[in-house]
A and B are shown apart, each in its own frame.
Chain A
Amino acid sequence: MKHETEFEISFDGGPVPARQGQTIGAVLHAAGIRSWRTTRFGGRPRGLFCGIGVCFDCLVTVNGTPSLRACQTEALPGDEVTSG
């Protein structure tokens, strides 16, 4: 097994622990953060659903870049994730 680097990313300013290779969706979900956006009509909370890049429910803003699929975006040290 390769050495598994642990680091932190931030979610809405607060620290969240991550391991190298994990997706942002997995990092947030593991930390008990289950939704990070609300829908545009009903304001419904959304997070992971399909987990493999198909449903686009887990869209998230990372370092200012919007509309990234959290389940398809690898977490990198220092990432600033914001809900929307």
Chain B
Amino acid sequence: MPDVVVIGAGVVGAACAYYAARAGLEVTVVERGSVASGTTGAGEGNVLVSDKEPGPELDLALLSNVLWRELAELGGFEFEAKGGLVVAETGEVQRALTGLARAQAVEHEVVAPEDLPRYEPHLATGLAGGVFYPQDAQVQPMLAAARLLRHGAPELRTGETVTGFLRSGDRVTGVRTDRAEIPAAAVVNAAGTWAGEIAELAGAPLPILPRRGFVLVTEPLPEPLIRHKVYTAAYVTNVASDSAGLESSAVVEGTPSGTVLIGASRERVGFDRTLSIPVLRALARQAVELFPVLADTRLIRAYCGFRPYCPDHLPVIGPDPRAPGLYHACGHEGAGIGLAPATGHLVARLLTGAETGLDLRPFLPDRFAGETS
């Protein structure tokens, strides 16, 4: 009998399994699809500190940033500590950006307009400046998830769907799948955008909903045009937005395979995969505005994913008092890849009864009491 069953083999589930295994627990991972087949496989690989408002999520991001660098030492997946450059269209926005950077108190460099080409030679002219965040990084999330699972060496059960929970009174004592019953001392819900359905199965609903994001991929370029993750200040406001309609602010970056990724549209349209030309146009326009040289670069692919978001845009991490033995590790919205290691690390600490070293209260599932019952 395993100590822990982790539901979901996305990057968050993989990190939970990895850290739990490293803490000496016996872990089984149950995944209805393949490794990284949900939101992890439809992301950009953002490991960002720059876009976080000061507060609990930034603390989580900073912890994660350190952990990602450690995990990268394991090898077998791309991790690029390339840094992020946030640019401002106007002087007013630049003042707001520098104010935010000061409040965040993370490593940063304020970049004067005339110095922008030193960071990004192909950046549009006429910008009012920017802030460079050396800690921002890029990870290839699918391979990272697969490698974490390999290094943690849990029992990996792919193509198997959780259909219910084993209970002893209120207590969760394992999961029931379409193939077997798996008793376990604890269960971790790392089902990402589908974590609400899992929580529902446990009779402990969570308000997690899908937010659709499109990512554009260009032809592979012979020479790297773009060195960092580059985006405009509008991205920061969009991340925290409550609007249901289309918002987009392109995050543009090059990848080791030579392609340029353009990401970050955000819409609440349920699980609808239909290609939206207005979204594609908006992303393309913003990318070309940032890097005029991209106008002649060809788009060869577009994909969309469904980011799991909560009403307060914070993830859900911690034990569920409604179902003792059940822990949540989900709802990371567009930041799941960045926040995965910290989430896994904290969940492993909780499972072993160790001190977490970080105030978990903002992330606990209790915070929705009254909203979902």
When A and B form their complex, which 6 residue pairs have the shortest distance between CB atoms, in order from nearest? A67-B219, A40-B258, A40-B220, A67-B298, A40-B222, A84-B222
Q: Mark A25-50, 1 if CB is under 8 A from B, else 0.
A: 00000000000000010000000000
Bound CA–CA A40/B256 (angstroms): 11
Binding site for A on B (CB under 8 A): 219-220, 222, 258, 298
Q: Which residues on the B side are within 8 Å of A84 (C-beta)?
A: 222
Bound CA–CA A68/B241 (angstroms): 41
Bound CA–CA A84/B220 (angstroms): 13
Q: Which residues of chain A from 38 to 78 have a CB within 8 Å of any chain B CB?
A: 40, 67
A-B CB contact pairs (8 Å), 6 listed: A40-B220, A40-B222, A40-B258, A67-B219, A67-B298, A84-B222
Min distance, Cβ A69 to any Cβ of chain B, angstroms: 11
Min distance, Cβ B258 to any Cβ of chain A, angstroms: 6
| Size of interface on A: residues with Cβ below 8 Å to B | 3
Bound CA–CA A67/B258 (angstroms): 14
Binding site for B on A (CB under 8 A): 40, 67, 84
Residue of B nearest to A65 (CB): B296
Bound CA–CA A67/B222 (angstroms): 11
Residue of B nearest to A59 (CB): B219
Q: Which residues on the B side are within 8 Å of A67 (C-beta)?
A: 219, 298
Min distance, Cβ B341 to any Cβ of chain A, angstroms: 29
Bound CA–CA A40/B298 (angstroms): 17
Q: Which residues on the A side are within 8 Å of B220 (C-beta)?
A: 40
Min distance, Cβ B298 to any Cβ of chain A, angstroms: 6
Bound CA–CA A84/B221 (angstroms): 12
Bound CA–CA A67/B298 (angstroms): 9
Bound CA–CA A84/B223 (angstroms): 12
Residue of B nearest to A84 (CB): B222
Bound CA–CA A82/B193 (angstroms): 48
Bound CA–CA A48/B219 (angstroms): 19
Residue of A nearest to B219 (CB): A67
Bound CA–CA A40/B255 (angstroms): 13
Min distance, Cβ B81 to any Cβ of chain A, angstroms: 22
Min distance, Cβ B78 to any Cβ of chain A, angstroms: 14
Bound CA–CA A84/B258 (angstroms): 15
Bound CA–CA A21/B258 (angstroms): 34
Min distance, Cβ B337 to any Cβ of chain A, angstroms: 25
Bound CA–CA A40/B258 (angstroms): 9
Bound CA–CA A67/B299 (angstroms): 12
Q: Which residues on the A side are within 8 Å of B258 (C-beta)?
A: 40
Q: Which residues on the A side are within 8 Å of B222 (C-beta)?
A: 40, 84
Min distance, Cβ A58 to any Cβ of chain B, angstroms: 14
Bound CA–CA A40/B254 (angstroms): 15
Min distance, Cβ A8 to any Cβ of chain B, angstroms: 27
Q: Which residues on the A side are within 8 Å of B219 (C-beta)?
A: 67
Bound CA–CA A84/B298 (angstroms): 17
Residue of A nearest to B220 (CB): A40
Min distance, Cβ B166 to any Cβ of chain A, angstroms: 49
Bound CA–CA A67/B218 (angstroms): 12
Min distance, Cβ A72 to any Cβ of chain B, angstroms: 14
Bound CA–CA A63/B222 (angstroms): 18
Min distance, Cβ B109 to any Cβ of chain A, angstroms: 32
Min distance, Cβ B236 to any Cβ of chain A, angstroms: 34
Min distance, Cβ A70 to any Cβ of chain B, angstroms: 15
Q: Which residues on the B side are within 8 Å of A40 (C-beta)?
A: 220, 222, 258
Min distance, Cβ A22 to any Cβ of chain B, angstroms: 24
Min distance, Cβ A15 to any Cβ of chain B, angstroms: 26
Min distance, Cβ B300 to any Cβ of chain A, angstroms: 9
